[in-house]
Amino acid sequence: MLGAPVDHSLSPVLHGAAYARLGLAVRYTAIHCEPVGLPAMLARLRTEPGWLGVSLTMPLKTVVLDLLDEVDPTAAAIGAVNTVVVGADGHLRGDNTDVAGITFALRRVTDRTPRQPMIIGAGGTARAAVAALAVAGCPQTAVVARRPEAAAELAEVGERLGIAVTGLPWELLATGLPAGPDLVVATTPAGATDPLARRRWPATSPLIELLYHPWPTALAATAYRAGARVAGGLEILAGQAVGQVAHFTGHDVPAGVLFTAGQAALEQRASPPPGDDHATAHP
């Protein structure tokens, strides 16, 4: 995988578990790569034998778009690629399995197509959330954003994907979750939704929380206590990695295998080594 930073990524753990399960001799490592170095890295993929592809994290997901030979229509619509597959003669195709990861989480929390979903946040991951809701057949979604212009950009993404996006002001959350949403997708950084977590949460509003460490987040804990169904970022990470494994190898692997490996890695990181009571866990 490529990105900056990548030192604490769980992706090598998840992919390693997948290839071990499949019995494939595939090596997956994290490589520090800044945007300025991406063209040279992609040139290596085109010319060096043995590459199946690479995963991309920020800030490379948007930078890579103009450097590829082909981009999946959904990835093009949301303006982000997290998976590059090496084909014959060095042909590079971009895809976005973040959408598959959120779709996997959606199926974990509801067996119905949400009619009034709400996305909290309007950054890059919110774009994947809009696409996942479109794939699920949702006709519309609300987006609560700090910046109206960011909500407007998501509305343009939604228009390309066939889902209506309505922007709502961030201040709306000051008094708690508005009545009505039958799904909430939280895409904000750690701590951003903590004030909302101190309010009442309806049991009829399942939550997809894109964060996974530390877990549960304050928002996830509130939803759990209310009796709502909750899926976390580790499930999304496992779901999107399953899609990458399929793109790279043509083989399917159960998401549970990757999720279990990720859980074990997080537990190990959270446990301080003997004699060190002040060790810090990192995602």
Burial of 281 (0-12, 13-18, 19+ CB in 10 A): middle
Distance CA 107, CA 128 (A): 15
Full-model pTM: 0.91
> Which pLDDT does position 82 carry in this prediction?
96
Residues tagged active-site: 61
Task: Please answer whether residues 242 and 22 qualify as being in contact, where contact means their C-beta atoms are separated by less than 8 angstroms.
Answer: no
Query: What is the tens place of the pLDDT at every residue in 27-66?
Result: 999 999 999 999 999 999 999 999 999 999 988 999 999 9
**Average pLDDT across the chain, whole number:** 93
Task: Please answer whether residues 68 and 93 qualify as being in contact, where contact means their C-beta atoms are separated by less than 8 angstroms.
Answer: yes
Distance CA 216, CA 222 (A): 9
Distance CA 61, CA 216 (A): 27
**Which domains are delineated in the chain?**
2-97+240-270 (3.40.50.10860), 99-234 (3.40.50.720)
Query: What is the tens place of the pLDDT at every residue in 135-163?
Result: 999 999 999 999 999 999 999 999 999 99
Distance CA 252, CA 198 (A): 40
Task: Please answer whether residues 78 and 128 qualify as being in contact, where contact means their C-beta atoms are separated by less than 8 angstroms.
Answer: yes
Mean pLDDT of the 105-109 span: 96
> Which pLDDT does position 7 carry in this prediction?
85
Task: Please answer whether residues 2 and 54 qualify as being in contact, where contact means their C-beta atoms are separated by less than 8 angstroms.
Answer: yes
Q: What are the start-end ranges of the H helices in the chain?
A: 11-22, 38-47, 60-63, 73-78, 98-109, 124-135, 148-161, 194-197, 218-226, 233-249, 255-270
Distance CA 93, CA 99 (A): 16
Is 278's pLDDT higher than 60? Answer: no
Distance CA 215, CA 236 (A): 14
CA quadruple 70, 75, 79, 82: dihedral positive or negative? negative
